[in-house]
A and B are shown apart, each in its own frame.
Chain A
Amino acid sequence: MRALRLNVLVRSRHFYKLTSLGGGVRSLTEKVSSKQVKSSAPETAADHLIYTQEHFALKESLRKLIDQEINPYVDQWEAEGKFPAHKIFKILGNAGFLGVNKPVEYGGLGLDFSFSVAVAEELGNIRCGGIPMAIGVQTDMTTPALARFGSDELKREFLLPSISGDKVACLGVSEVGAGSDVSSIKTKAVRKGDEYVINGGKMWTTNGTQADWMCLLANTSDGHFLQKSTICDSFPRVHIARKIDKLGMWSSDTAEVFFDDVHVPCKNVIGQEGMGFTYQMLQFQEERLWAVANILTTTDNVIQETIQYTRQRKIFKQPVLHHQAVHFRLAELQTEVELLRSLLYRATALYIKGNDVTKLASMAKLKGGRLAREVGDSCLQYWGGMGYTSDVLVSRFYRDSRLMSIGAGADEVMLGIICKYMDTLPGK
C-alpha cells in the first residue's frame, strides 16, 4: 500500500510535467535542468544580502514565463538564427519586466538597480545566450540615457513603447573601425536647418534586423564631440546591410547597418549635443553588472548539468564524477562562481546607495568573461563526445559565452580601467 502511494506520486507528477510543458518529453539535459534545486544563494529573503521577498517573487514569476514562453522554443530559434523579438518583448513588457528601473511616468516601475540584477540573474535560466543579451540591450543599453536625459516628447515616443514591449530597440555605437576605441567613430551627423543628416555605418547591432528604433552615437563636429540621437528605422536610407553569421548567440540577430543621408529631426537628440559619450559612459556600470548577473546563473546551470551527466555516465565501470580530477575541478569552478557572485552583490549594494562602482564593475565583468570560458571549457571536456554535439547545453554555452570577454567592453578595456584606478598606467 505504501509502495503504491509513492508510485502514484511519481506517475502523476510526470503527467503534469508533460502536459504543462506542451513540448513532450525532451532530451536528458532538459529534464535534468528544469526545476533545479538552486545550488548556491539562500532561498529565503531574510538572509540575502540584497534581495527581499519581492525580488524572489519577481524571479519566480519570470522563471515561469521563461519556462512557458521561451525555453520550449530556444532550439528552434537558434536553428532559425532569430527569435521573435516583438512577440517576446511584448510578453515581458506586459509582465512589467522591461522597465524595472525606469520612470513610472513612462510605464516603468521606478525600482532600484538590485531589481534589474534580479531580472538579469533569472534570465540566465534561458537555455541560450542570445535572448538574454537581446533583452539586456533593450532594457539596459538602449534606454538608460533616454530615460535620464531625453525630452518628455522623445520619451513618450520611444521609451514608453520600449518598456511596454511594443517597440524593439537597438544600439548603434560600435563601428567597423571603432569598437573598444569608441572615440574614433566616424558616423557623422551634420546639422541642416532643424534636421541632422546622418552618414556612416554601425556594426554589431544586436536586434538590428528587427528594431523599430536605434539609439545612435554620432559625431556632430570634426573634433571629438559626440552626440546621441535616436532615429526611427522607418526612415528610408537606413540599410540593414547584412545579418552577421556568428560563432554563437545564434538566436540573436546581429546586423551591420548603413546610413546614407538619413534625415533625423533635431528634437530626436537626447539631452545636450556633445554629451553623447558622457551619457554612454554613465551606464557602463549597470551594463557590466547586468552581464555578470546573467552569466552567473548560466554557469551554475552548466555546472549542475555536468554533475548530473557525469554521475550517470560510466567510464571504466565507474561514474565519470567519481574520478577525483572531475569533482575536484567542479569544486574549484563553483568556488570561483561564488566569489564572483559576492563581488556582484557587493558592487550592487554600493551602487544602489549612490556610489561609483566603476572599478568593481569592471573587475566583475573581466572575471565574468574569463570564468565563463573556463567553466565552458572544463565542463565540455567532462561531457566528452556528447559535449561536442549540438544536442546539449554545454556546447551552446561554450560558443555563446565566449562573447563576454569581447562585447560590452573587452577584457583589455576592463584591465585598462582597473589599472587607471590602481594608478599603474604610464604617465602622460
Chain B
Amino acid sequence: KCPRVSPVVTLCYCFVSPQIRVKPDNTGVVTDGVKHSMNPFCEIAVEEAVKLKEKKLIKEVVAVSCGPQQSQETIRTALAMGADRGIHVDVSGKDYENLGPLQVSKILAALAKQEDAQLILLGKQAIDDDCNQTGQMTAALLDWPQGTFASEVSLEGDKINLVREIDGGLEHIKINTPAVITADLRLNTPRYATLPNIMKAKKKKIATVKPADLGVDLTSRLEVLKVEEPPQREAGMKVETVEDLVVKLKEAGRV
C-alpha cells in the first residue's frame, strides 16, 4: 500500500521578458514594469505534484512562493492547476532584492517542519538567476535525501525511484522519504489552467506568513558589487591563409 505523502511545491516568481537591461547604477537589472510569472521549471514541479495527487499517491499539494504581494498570482496559477492551498511568504523591498537561494532554503526548511511535509518539489533552477541551488541547500538544511534534475519520478512504498538527467546520460536512483526533488524539463508537460479550475481556485486558501514568523534570518552573505552587460559582440574578420591568421593573432596580442 502506498504511503500518503504530503508535498510542498515551491514556486519561483521570476521575470520572463526577453529584453533585460542593466540598471544605470550597475547594481542589478531593471525589474520594474518587467513581466513576472511562474518559473517554467516550477510549473513542471506543480504538474508533477498534481499528477501524484491524481494517482492518489499523495494527500495534499501546498504551493509556496516567497516574494512581494504579486507573487500571490503565481500561487493562484498553481491552485488553478490543481494545488489544494497556498502559502505566501511575504518578502518585499530590500529583503526581496537580497533574497537568494540560501534564504529561500531556510524558509522552505522551516515550512517543511511546520507543515510536516514528506516531499518537497521544486524547479531545478529559476530562469532569471539560474542558480540551481535552492533544492540542494534545502535538502542539506533538512538532512533529507535529494533527487535533482528529475526526468522521471515514481513512488514505491516509502521510497522514491528517480531518473536524473546528468551530463553523461540518465542516472537511476532510489531515495528514502522525506526527500527533496527538483524538476527538469522533460519530467512532464504542464497542463493549462482550465477556466473552470481558475474559477474554483478563487475559493482555495492562501495563507500569508513572514520570514520572521518562521524564525528565519534573511541577511545575505553575498554582496553584489557590480552588474554589467556582457561585452558587445564585435565584428569578425576573414583571412585568406593560415599564415595570415597567425599574423593577425600576434598583432592582436592573442598569441
Measured in the bound complex, the distance between the Cα atoms of B199 and A390 in whole Å is 40
Q: Is the CB of B231 within 8 A of A3?
A: yes
Q: Is the CB of A60 within 8 A of B37?
A: yes
Name the segment of A93-101, A233-241, A290-298, A313-321 touching the other chain: A93-101
Q: Is the CB of A53 within 8 A of B73?
A: yes
For chain B, residues 70 to 103, give those with C-beta under 8 angstroms from any C-beta of chain A.
70, 73, 76-77, 80
Question: Does B237 interact with chain A (Cβ within 8 Å)?
Answer: no
Question: Does B226 interact with chain A (Cβ within 8 Å)?
Answer: yes
Selected contact of A13 from candidates B70, B127, B228, CB within 8 Å? B127
Interface of A is mostly: helix
Given A9-B129, A95-B194, A109-B195: A57 and B77 interface contact (C-beta under 8 Å)? yes
Q: Is the CB of B195 within 8 A of A96?
A: yes
User: Which chain B residues lie closer than 8 Å to A94 at the CB level?
Assistant: 194
Measured in the bound complex, the distance between the Cα atoms of B227 and A111 in whole Å is 47
Question: Does A64 interact with chain B (Cβ within 8 Å)?
Answer: yes
User: Which chain A residues lie closer than 8 Å to B73 at the CB level?
Assistant: 53, 56-57
Measured in the bound complex, the distance between the Cα atoms of B15 and A13 in whole Å is 11
Q: Is the CB of B185 within 8 A of A19?
A: yes
Selected contact of A6 from candidates B16, B225, B228, CB within 8 Å? B228
Q: Is the CB of B80 within 8 A of A61?
A: yes
Selected contact of A57 from candidates B20, B125, B198, CB within 8 Å? B198
Name the segment of A35-43, A152-160, A264-272, A375-383 touching the other chain: A35-43
Selected contact of B76 from candidates A20, A44, A53, A65, CB within 8 Å? A53
Selected contact of A9 from candidates B128, B196, B202, CB within 8 Å? B128
Would you give the 0/1 interface string for B100-127, flagging 1 where the beta carbon is closer than 8 Å to chain A?
0000000000000000000000000101
Given A31-B18, A109-B196: A2 and B33 interface contact (C-beta under 8 Å)? no
Selected contact of A61 from candidates B40, B128, B195, B226, CB within 8 Å? B195
Would you give the 0/1 interface string for B207-233, flagging 1 where the beta carbon is closer than 8 Å to chain A?
000000000000000001111111100
Q: Is the CB of B34 within 8 A of A12?
A: no
Q: Which of A17, A54, A111 has the most CB of B within 10 A?
A: A54
Question: Does B193 interact with chain A (Cβ within 8 Å)?
Answer: yes
Given A2-B227, A57-B198: A8 and B130 interface contact (C-beta under 8 Å)? yes
Q: Is the CB of A37 within 8 A of B17?
A: yes
Q: Is the CB of A2 within 8 A of B228?
A: yes
Measured in the bound complex, the distance between the Cα atoms of B200 and A62 in whole Å is 17
A59 to chain B, nearest CB (A): 10
Question: Does A58 interact with chain B (Cβ within 8 Å)?
Answer: yes
Q: Is the CB of B192 within 8 A of A57?
A: no
Measured in the bound complex, the distance between the Cα atoms of B76 and A69 in whole Å is 23
Identity of the chain A residue whose Cβ is nearest the Cβ of B128 in the assembled complex: A9
Selected contact of A35 from candidates B35, B197, B228, CB within 8 Å? B35
Selected contact of A58 from candidates B19, B40, B195, CB within 8 Å? B195
Identity of the chain B residue whose Cβ is nearest the Cβ of A65 in the assembled complex: B192
User: Which chain B residues lie closer than 8 Å to A12 at the CB level?
Assistant: 125, 127, 130
Given A7-B230, A53-B73: A61 and B192 interface contact (C-beta under 8 Å)? yes
Selected contact of B16 from candidates A9, A35, A58, A95, CB within 8 Å? A35
Would you give the 0/1 interface string for A169-207, flagging 1 where the beta carbon is closer than 8 Å to chain B?
000000000000000000000000000000000000000
User: Which chain B residues lie closer than 8 Å to A109 at the CB level?
Assistant: 195-196, 199
Q: Which of B18, B37, B196, B197 has the most CB of A within 10 A?
A: B18
Measured in the bound complex, the distance between the Cα atoms of B227 and A3 in whole Å is 7
Question: Does B201 interact with chain A (Cβ within 8 Å)?
Answer: yes
User: Which chain B residues lie closer than 8 Å to A34 at the CB level?
Assistant: 18
Q: Is the CB of B226 within 8 A of A2?
A: yes
A11 to chain B, nearest CB (A): 9
User: Which chain B residues lie closer than 8 Å to A43 at the CB level?
Assistant: 35
User: Which chain A residues lie closer than 8 Å to B70 at the CB level?
Assistant: 44
A38 to chain B, nearest CB (A): 7
Selected contact of B196 from candidates A17, A19, A65, A96, CB within 8 Å? A96
A352 to chain B, nearest CB (A): 16
Identity of the chain A residue whose Cβ is nearest the Cβ of B38 in the assembled complex: A60
Q: Is the CB of A3 within 8 A of B196?
A: no
Identity of the chain A residue whose Cβ is nearest the Cβ of B43 in the assembled complex: A64
Which 8 residue pairs spanning A and B have beta carbons closest together?
A: A96-B195, A61-B193, A95-B194, A96-B194, A57-B198, A96-B196, A7-B230, A95-B192
- A selection of 14 A-B contacts at a CB cut-off of 8 Å is A2-B225, A3-B231, A9-B20, A9-B128, A9-B129, A12-B130, A37-B17, A53-B73, A57-B193, A57-B201, A60-B37, A61-B194, A61-B195, A115-B195
Beyond A2-B227, A109-B196, 14 additional pairs, beta carbon < 8 A: A2-B226, A5-B227, A6-B22, A6-B227, A10-B230, A38-B35, A53-B76, A54-B198, A54-B202, A57-B77, A57-B193, A61-B80, A62-B192, A94-B194
